[in-house]
Structure 1
Amino acid sequence: MALINLLTKKQIEVLQSYLNDDWKYLILNGAVRAGKTVIDNYLFLLELKRIKQLAEREKEPHPQYILAGYSSNSIYTNVISSIENQFGIVMNTDRHGHYHLFGVDIVPAYTGSVRGIGAIRGMTSYGAYINEASLATHEVFQEIVQRCSVGSARIICDTNPDIPTHWLKTDYIDNHDPKARIKSFSFTIDDNTFLAKDYVDALKAATPRGMFYDRSILGQWVTGEGIVYQDFNANTMVIDDKNIPDGLSYYCGVDWGFEHPNPILLLGDDNQGNTYVVKDFTKRHKFISYWVDIAKRLQTEYGRNLIFYVDSARPDNLNEFQANGINAINANKNILPGIEYVAQKMRQGKFFIAKSASKGLLEELYQYAWDEKTGEPLKENDVRHNDRLDALRYAIYSKNKKGGFIPWN
């Protein structure tokens, strides 16, 4: 079977570079679903075979290699499981948590925290494969680079874009010094010609405008511009209370505050995937007993099993809710994935606010802007607060993404 039937043109270009070019770092970056990890997984296997041959020539009986990713789960999902599905190769761990293939000891390293350094500190590695490299803590990334000290050690990476000032972009992708020996390839979603056209068209149509589209579809390293929720339309998304359907699946979002406003938002989902903000309870300078009373009233009206997704910054308040029989759990507070999920609902026309609950939310929505330096929303100040929008994000994202961190890949 011809190679063009197995790989896209962009993946073949990467493979040719791997085989023929002189490089120390090979970095694939760009859009989601573009085929970066697929080709990197293949290169990972080629690297293991190369390392085994090199170790045999050097009479090294126990060559080691670093397999790095944000977490244990992301390494398994993006690399190990994918290799098993792609190539039918089963990779099990030993009692140390290491994988073994082609005679190479593969040492996992978790890049989401500086604690990941502990797994590789002191080792000498024949190379590394770093999945989701832009999510790596800079200190762990540098430690991986330092561990790859064998003369012919090489490092392959894949990543989705981040802000243009990210160290991976400035120090590596944009580094054209020949002595650095860095090869990088940028992918757009259209580079993956194996994806069904209707899938790509639907994904493009559903992806929120602005930063999310530029990163996820076009593969660009950009910051946001203007307001965060560009697809919000008050003319269609703020509706009369009488048009809120009955029988929704209800839940709440809570952002603790005192000097800052403390909102409790009641939301409901229908069976078509639409989300409605039904009620807004927001006050300043109220102690926890006040919010316990609000929560109990909501339980009485909407059921004892009503879930409250709360800000984890105040464990004492969470404990007080739970001690009073309120079904409260810490929210998933991941900022960008949470914002993207809410923005996607708006983009798809599946987000609505009851008119009686809209005033405070509208004020926040129209002031919720990107910080071009950090690529995240501007921090709160004495004039503008995002408390309702935080509670909104906690509720919607936590209800739909209960598994924790969702990588962009």
Structure 2
Amino acid sequence: MSLLDALPLSRKQILSIVQAEARINVWEGSVRSGKTIASLLRWLHFVSTAPRGGELVMVGRTRESLYRNIIAPLTNPEIFGDLATQTVANHLAPVATILGRQVHILGANDAKAEPKIRGMTCSGGYVDELTTLPKTFFDQLVARCSVKGAKIFTTTNPDNPGHWVRRDYLKRPAQTRLRSWHFTLDDNPFLDPEYVASLKSTYTGLFYRRNILGHWVQASGAIYDSWDETRHIVRTLPPMVRWLCDSIDYGTTNPYANLLLGLGVDHNLYVVSEYRWDSRAERRKKTDAEYSAARRRWLASVPHPQSTVIGVQPEWTVVDPSAASYIEQLHRDGVHGVTPADNSVLDGIRTTSTLLSAGRLLIHESARGLVEEIPGYSWDDEKSEKGEDAPIKQDDHSCDALRYGVRTTEALWRPHIPTLLEVAA
């Protein structure tokens, strides 16, 4: 494997590549620790020698994420040299060609994905971010790798210690014929020291222990443990260069929360304003049409910071994806840019937590509902004990609206916040 000599690799990376001869091979640990490059080098070697008589598969949470995280690096000559030209893949195509072998490209984001692999006879597979896949899919993949000499290679960041990946596979290496290698951020000696220091300062609490130290730890306590009213609440706002969205957590009996997010000239995200209606406190429920009209009046009354202009038209209106009737009402009322929110709870929380930790998400003092909810926004201990990370579903309406807006508009704001460009990689 000539690339072992050509690429700058750490001793741990080289050892993991040479030793990955088990039926299931897992590179697990912190972000940016070098585990993905090591796993891909081993996968390339396996593809070049994989047994015939079966199919090869590569799997990600979605086909899009697999192309972004894995296929793109494979086709990058700066990383894989001449081998990059031997990976032929069209964006989002279901099949790629790697070293002359046909490889199926699959997404597996929920339990309905399991039939995609059923019926296949596989010689080997590569799985990106194993903890994001349903257990039924991975179990089926293991069963389908039935050709003699078949192997599976996979990477993952740590999760809850009760997660099925750790419980049923990592802790049962003999029974599952598995070998794993644990990586931490400090195992990658080729990262710029300033970048490492910046990355370490970005995360706090749970996400620091998982993403920097590589620990499988249980979620507990406050979700946004870096929250500091003196640091994150502002009285004055800078001019906004983009009005990104208003993001809505819909409620009839529960509160309706709508936050307005803008990108400031200082390259920070701001919650500029909030509209909130608590039907219990007000003793009156509103219809979809009434909420739509109230939203319109609220946005029309929001002043532009440091300007005489009144009224805002955000680029997107991000809505709780379960609120189908309200989304339809907004369409009827001619609202442009209406889209269901990305409701990936942990991804939304992680992104929002990263912004708060870095001091790049600030909240105007007028957003009282959000300001009151954040300190009490906590992990559900009962679900943590079952291996699930989830917030307590109480007094979380403005917090839900916040993660909806932050996560769904990430492609718009991330290029303007340089210190966060590579944090999630």
> TM-score range, shorter-chain basis?
0.7 to 0.9
CA distance 1:315–1:355, change in 2 (3 Å): same
User: Structure 1 residue 140 and structure 2 residue 140: aligned?
Assistant: no
Does the 8 A contact of 1:260 with 1:385 survive in 2?
Answer: no
**Residue range with higher mean Cα deviation, 274-283 or 157-166:** 274-283
* Structural mapping, 1:184-199, within 5 Å: 184-199=180-195
CA distance 1:120–1:5, change in 2 (3 Å): closer
User: CA–CA distance in 2 between the matches of 1:6 and 1:249?
Assistant: 41
Q: Give RMSD over aligned pairs.
A: 2.7
Shift of 1:109: 3.0
CA distance 1:272–1:38, change in 2 (3 Å): same
Partner residue in 2 for 1:379: 392
Deviations 1:90-142 (A, max 9, x none): 33359x94333445332233222344334432222122222211111111101
CA distance 1:33–1:98, change in 2 (3 Å): same
Partner residue in 2 for 1:350: 360
User: CA–CA distance in 2 between the matches of 1:306 and 1:183?
Assistant: 48
CA distance 1:110–1:264, change in 2 (3 Å): closer
Determine which of 260, 268, 277 is the counterpart of 1:266. 260
Partner residue in 1 for 2:408: 398
Deviations 1:192-235 (A, max 9, x none): 1111111111111122x111111111111112221011111112
TM-score (norm 2): 0.83
User: CA–CA distance in 1 between the matches of 2:319 and 2:58?
Assistant: 35
User: Structure 1 residue 91 and structure 2 residue 104: aligned?
Assistant: no
User: Structure 1 residue 206 and structure 2 residue 202: aligned?
Assistant: yes
Tell me how many residue pairs correspond in the alignment: 388
Structure 2, unpaired ranges of 5+? 280-284, 301-309, 414-421
Q: Structure 1: which amino acid aligns with 2:322? A: A
User: CA–CA distance in 2 between the matches of 1:323 and 1:5?
Assistant: 57
Q: Structure 1: which amino acid aligns with 2:291? A: W
Q: Structure 1: which amino acid aligns with 2:389? A: E
Shift of 1:244: 2.3
* Structural mapping, 1:279-294, within 5 Å: 279-283=273-277, 284=279, 285-294=285-294
CA distance 1:329–1:80, change in 2 (3 Å): closer
* Structural mapping, 1:51-90, within 5 Å: 51=50, 54-55=51-52, 60=53, 63-85=54-76, 86=80, 87-90=83-86
Q: Structure 1: which amino acid aligns with 2:321? A: S
Deviations 1:59-92 (A, max 9, x none): x5xx422222222222222332212211323333
Partner residue in 2 for 1:45: 44
Shift of 1:343: 1.5
CA distance 1:357–1:125, change in 2 (3 Å): closer
Structure 1, unpaired ranges of 5+? none
Determine which of 89, 99, 107 is the counterpart of 1:110. 107
User: CA–CA distance in 2 between the matches of 1:378 and 1:340?
Assistant: 12
Does the 8 A contact of 1:161 with 1:215 survive in 2?
Answer: yes
TM-score (norm 1): 0.86
Equivalent pairs: percent with the same residue? 27
Does the 8 A contact of 1:296 with 1:326 survive in 2?
Answer: no
Shift of 1:408: 5.7
User: CA–CA distance in 2 between the matches of 1:224 and 1:263?
Assistant: 26
